[in-house]
Amino acid sequence: MAITFVIIFTICFFLVRLMPVDISQGPGKDPTTYEKMRQAYGYDKPLIDQYLIFIRNIFYPYYKDANGVTYSVSRFGYSWQIDYMAEPNKMLFSKMAPTVIINGISILISIPLGILIGIYMALKKNKWQDYVLSVLVIVLISVPAFVYAFILQYSFSYKLNLFPTTMPPLMNGMSWFSPSVQKAMVLPVIANSIGSTAVFSRFMRAELSETLTSRFMILARSKGMSKFEAVVKHGLRNSMVPIFPMILGHVIGIFSGSIIVEQVFGVPGVGKIFLDSILQHDYDVFLFVGMFYILIGLAGGLLADISYGLADPRIRVGGNFKNE
Amino acid sequence: MNKKLYSLNKNEVTYVKEDFEKISINEREVENSIQIKSSFFKDCFKAFAKNKASLIAAIVLSIIALFAIITPIASPFTKIDSLSYNIDGSRLSNIHPKNLMFEGSGFWDGTYEKKINDADYYVYKFYDTENKPIIKDNGEIKDVEMEMLNASQKIHSVTLDSYAVGSSYISLNKEDYFKLEEYCNNTGKNIIQDYVDYRSYIEEYRNELLASEFNYSQAMIDITIKNMEIQYRNANITYKIVPLLNTDGSIRNNNVFLPMFDNTDVVHIYSSSVIDNDRHIKGVIENGQYHIRVDYMPYFEYKYGFSPIFLFGSNSAGQDLLSRLAIGTLFSLGLGILVTAINLLIGLVYGAVEGYYGGKTDLILERVSDILSAIPSIILLVIFNVYFSSIPGLNQGIAVVLGLFIAFILTGWIGVAGTTRMQFYRYKGLDFVAASRSLGAKNSRLIFKHILPNAIGTIITSSILMIPGVIFSESSLSYLGIIDFSGSGLSSIGQLLNEGSGSLGSDNAYLLLFPTILISLLMISFNLFGNGLRDAFNPLSRGE
């Protein structure tokens, strides 16, 4: 994973630094000062030098000029557009709270709900309840997240006036858990939950209905277990093997915000800052947040791989296997 | 039998007559009846047809595709030259959806309810065109929020007909003017309306202010007169207006203008017609240009040859949402299909090499695709989008589409490669491949003649689901504004969503409604269709 990450980072770094810089953007910025600042931080050097400087700064964030004076520099470059000379890592972590809260509440709702619906569908397999729910699940998976967001915003904010349309800025003395902020988070949480609930119920149905047709289920019933007991003790435990890694992947994913939902509801989170860095061509922030997203993705994958072995001791990734 | 000669070379098998025996016709019939009549594909289509949801999805999908192809051909709006339409378009902005079937029902007939203040209310009320915008006056209402913004004005609730766009000032040269006049005389339509002589009224009002008892400053008078002139650019104000006054008669707000009433009637200030070459002309002639006032809807019909009906409404530039949506759908569908086809080709070759050769080749190629698959396509898309857009001389539309293609293709084929690899592992060890190999078939023959034809059904059907994926990504990204088609004349569903996203809370929510419905329908039916197809072709993965 570390090697993959370094390779991806190197590719992205060179691609990002190759992009043209538009200096004229933004009010109150003097192009000549801007250019001088960029030169001072080595943005005009050859790409390979820039890369080495960046790597050095990550581990040793100091810079010695010709007179031998040592300055402290940022580890991950600077924001040039959104928040002039701010450090991308600080910018990102200051936006973390709303994203983590919204995603955290969403998975607390969507995972249990999705699994319960999936179990119900598997138990009612090939009955009308299953058919109706299956179509509903496919519909919910297919429809893009912004469609839910629009529907929720239109009906609950504009027509019924129950919730604010967008998130209010954080005033003095307010925290992310103040009632008014929490109220504004209700719609984003629902919009975030619908999709993952549908995904979980679909997978749960597929896994459980496969497990329920296994022979050990017949054995369990013939030993005298009730249907409920057999499903809970044998069916569920076996079908959780592929579901458990999925849950872990979702848990890791709470750090990376949904760009669309945050944009529609004006949540000042991780997804919003990623979008801002893209739209305003703030390349260092873009690189940092992009790398953060990639890291989260890779960590999720790795954790899922490891957890397969945890969920089911029969699966262990040993060294003694061949590709064929 | 002993005369039969076998040699190692398969071409040299010789038979003698005794090797063959005649069979009766009956036996042949028996053989025929044993043969399986239905093929693999027929079975698959039978299985697909049994799945009702997928079948409906396929029908919906083909309707959408037909809509996308036929609408641009049939719609009169797509034939209009967009350059000359720009000015006319601004007058047809934000016209609400209208379906002739629902005429007068209050639903989908171009009407909408609105709360307006006094100033707007009187402008709407005294339109002198044939179609009046206020079709139902619900009277004065209390609205705290609006009253705060409109001091000392009353709030009216009205039902407006968005198709009553009123009149408009236009300038024509002599030839065009005579043509228009002839058309009016022939058809009996009253397009050219009386010109409004507001300049002399403004002069009159200025003098009135100067002589006023309230001793207004010169700056105050200038700004009031200037605001008044701006008001009169609206060609529907054909009467004397005065600023909002206090009860003692002094000006309260010189930016809000109300009609001046004479008893209960407004005082129109139509100018008498000019006489030019023995003709009465309602208008002003300057430098050979005829400045006239026209009833806009009939004038549009005269100019473009059809009266506009916006089935899905029009946007702020007066463009027909229906035809833009069709063009956008065509673009999105085309992009999805093309990207999928290219990804399929690349993935097929890559996966075939991985799966067929296996071992170290497989291991190395898998690592390469692992690394690529970890890069989110949004990052690639941003990078290539900016990169191509910055190349001077490259058309912006081409730059955006090129960036989209590269970003979607760079990582898109990995899924196909994975499926192909699995299929190759599944088939390459089977007996018929071994048999062919033992007969001396080359690798290329084994891949293309033996393994691929068996695997291709599964691979293609599973990659059909890539099309909605591409459409979904494209529309999400252009909704967010990361992909921007606005300067290039192209359009996609996502672009329309982006344009409509600000209208959710306003009267023009239809701008968002129709693209949203279309993309939802497209995604749902594509996914149902793809799932059905995959299940039919690949019985092992059913239910997942």
Residues above pLDDT 90, as percent of chain A = 11
**CA end-to-end distance (rounded Å), chain B:** 58
Please tell me whether residues B361 and B288 are part of one structural domain. no
Residue A144 to residue B531, Cβ atoms within 8 A: no
Judged by DSSP in three states, B80 sits in coil
Residue A147 to residue B516, Cβ atoms within 8 A: yes
Q: Model confidence over B481-521: pLDDT tens digits?
A: 888 877 777 788 888 998 888 888 788 888 899 999 999 99
Please tell me whether residues B440 and B397 are part of one structural domain. yes
Q: What is the CB neighbour count within 10 angstroms for residue B440?
A: 8
What pLDDT sits at residue B542?
A: 43
Its sign, for the CA torsion B61, B491, B93, B505, is positive
Model confidence band, residue B543 (pLDDT cutoffs 50, 70, 90): very low
CA distances from B14 to B18, B19, B20, B440 (A): 12, 10, 12, 21
Among the partner-chain residues B370, B501, B527, the one whose CB lies closest to the CB of A141 is B527
Domain boundary among B466, B484, B502: B484
Please tell me whether residues B100 and B216 are part of one structural domain. yes
Contact A117, A141 (CB under 8 A): no
Interface with chain A: mutation pick from B370, B373, B380, B382, highest number of A CBs within 10 Å: B382
Q: Which domain holds residue B200?
A: 96-304
Residue A324 to residue B371, Cβ atoms within 8 A: no
What pLDDT sits at residue A117?
A: 94
SS (H, E, C) B4-41: CECCCCHHHCECCHHHCCCCCHHHHHHHHHHCCCCCHH
Q: Within a domain: residue B542?
A: no
Model confidence band, residue B344 (pLDDT cutoffs 50, 70, 90): very high
Q: How far apart are CA B327 and CA B71, in angstroms?
A: 8
Among all residues of chain A, which has the CA nearest to that of B506? A158
Among the partner-chain residues B379, B476, B544, the one whose CB lies closest to the CB of A146 is B476
Among the partner-chain residues A5, A16, A138, the one whose CB lies closest to the CB of B527 is A138
CA distances from B512 to A111, A163, A225, B112, B472 (A): 31, 20, 55, 16, 16
Model confidence band, residue B33 (pLDDT cutoffs 50, 70, 90): low
Looking at CA atoms only, how far is residue B309 from chain A in angstroms?
27
Ranges for all domains in chain A classified under CATH 1.10.3720.10: 92-311
Average pLDDT over residues A156-177: 78
Which chain B residues touch A154 with a CB distance below 8 Å?
Answer: 504-505, 509
Please tell me whether residues B171 and B275 are part of one structural domain. yes
Among all residues of chain A, which has the CA nearest to that of B521? A143
Structure tokens at B119: 């100033």
Q: What is the CB neighbour count within 10 angstroms for residue B104?
A: 8
Q: Model confidence over A249-299: pLDDT tens digits?
A: 888 888 887 888 888 888 888 888 888 888 888 888 888 888 998 888 888
- Across chain A, mean pLDDT equals 83
Q: What is the CB neighbour count within 10 angstroms for residue A25?
A: 13
What pLDDT sits at residue B2?
A: 47
Q: Model confidence over B426-465: pLDDT tens digits?
A: 888 888 888 888 888 888 888 888 888 888 888 888 888 8
What pLDDT sits at residue B437?
A: 85
Please tell me whether residues B336 and B259 are part of one structural domain. no
Please tell me whether residues B285 and B392 are part of one structural domain. no
Structure tokens at A1: 């994973």
Residue B520 to residue A142, Cβ atoms within 8 A: yes
Judged by DSSP in three states, B258 sits in strand
What pLDDT sits at residue A26?
A: 55
Query: B391 touching A, CB under 8 A?
Result: no
Average pLDDT over residues A16-33: 68
DSSP assignment of B467-491, as one string?
Answer: HHHHHHHHHHHHHHTSS--TTTT--
Contact A119, A187 (CB under 8 A): no
Q: Within a domain: residue B476?
A: yes
Q: Within a domain: residue B146?
A: yes
Q: Does residue B363 surpass a pLDDT of 60?
A: yes
Residue B376 to residue A290, Cβ atoms within 8 A: yes
Q: How far apart are CA A133 and CA B112, in angstroms?
A: 37
Please tell me whether residues B258 and B378 are part of one structural domain. no
User: What ipTM was estimated for this complex?
Assistant: 0.84
What pLDDT sits at residue A322?
A: 47
Residue B528 to residue A138, Cβ atoms within 8 A: yes
The helix (run of H) or strand (run of E) holding residue A227 is helix A227-230
The count of domains in chain B is 2
CATH, domain A92-311, list 3.50.50.60, 3.40.50.10860, 1.10.3720.10, 3.90.870.10: 1.10.3720.10
Q: Model confidence over B95-111: pLDDT tens digits?
A: 888 888 888 777 888 88
- Across chain B, mean pLDDT equals 83
For residue A164, what are the contacts with CB-CB under 8 A and spacing of at least 6?
A157, A183, A184
Residue B376 to residue A20, Cβ atoms within 8 A: no
Q: What are phi and psi of A197, to 5 degrees?
A: -60, -45
Q: Model confidence over A54-86: pLDDT tens digits?
A: 888 888 777 777 777 777 777 777 777 777 777
What pLDDT sits at residue B24?
A: 64
Please tell me whether residues B370 and B460 are part of one structural domain. yes
Domain boundary among B435, B456, B484: B484
Q: What is the CB neighbour count within 10 angstroms for residue B129?
A: 20
Looking at CA atoms only, how far is residue B34 from chain A in angstroms?
34
Among all residues of chain A, which has the CA nearest to that of B469? A142
What pLDDT sits at residue A210?
A: 87
What pLDDT sits at residue B32?
A: 61
Q: How far apart are CA B99 and CA B105, in angstroms?
A: 10
Please tell me whether residues B455 and B337 are part of one structural domain. yes
Please tell me whether residues B388 and B275 are part of one structural domain. no
Q: Within a domain: residue B267?
A: yes
Judged by DSSP in three states, B358 sits in coil
Please tell me whether residues B263 and B407 are part of one structural domain. no
Q: How far apart are CA B335 and CA A202, in angstroms?
A: 29
pTM here is: 0.83
Q: How far apart are CA A267 and CA A169, in angstroms?
A: 9
Query: B379 touching A, CB under 8 A?
Result: yes
Average pLDDT over residues B349-354: 91
Which chain A residues touch B411 with a CB distance below 8 Å?
Answer: none
Please tell me whether residues B160 and B212 are part of one structural domain. yes
SS (H, E, C) B485-520: CCCCCCCCHHHHHHHHHHHCCCCCCHHHHHHHHHHH
Q: Does residue B64 surpass a pLDDT of 90?
A: yes
Point out which residues pair with A63 in neighbouring strands: A71
Q: Model confidence over B229-250: pLDDT tens digits?
A: 888 888 788 888 888 888 887 8
Domain boundary among B453, B468, B484: B484
